[in-house]
Homo-oligomer: A and B are copies of this chain.
């Protein structure tokens, strides 16, 4: 289970498509596609499905996405905290 995989899942959920997610994450479409595939393979679950309008979560995906979002959010806060500390120190 890798960070880029979790980020990919969250981004696809946000945007509804792999192609848009790839733009957000600044990687190519195939990279995102593989990330998700590998994640699903490792977890042994289908997380996403094609629907009439883009990619959407499966029932299982819906139970996973919350944890994925929390993970990404925690990382973001760690990053922000570090910047915050540096901000005071660096002047």
Question: Using a CB–CB distance below 8 Å, which chain A residues touch chain B?
Answer: 1-3, 6, 43-45, 60, 63-64, 67-68, 70-71, 74-75, 77-79, 81-82, 85-86
Whether A64 contacts B81 in the complex (CB less than 8 A), given A3-B3, A74-B74, A75-B1, comes out as: yes
- Residues in B with CB closer than 8 Å to A70 are 70, 74, 77
- Interface of A, secondary structure class, is helix
The CA-CA distance from A8 to B71 in the complex, in Å, is 16
Whether A74 contacts B71 in the complex (CB less than 8 A), given A2-B3, A64-B82, A86-B45, comes out as: yes
- Residues in B with CB closer than 8 Å to A77 are 67, 70
Most buried by B among A63, A79, A85: A85
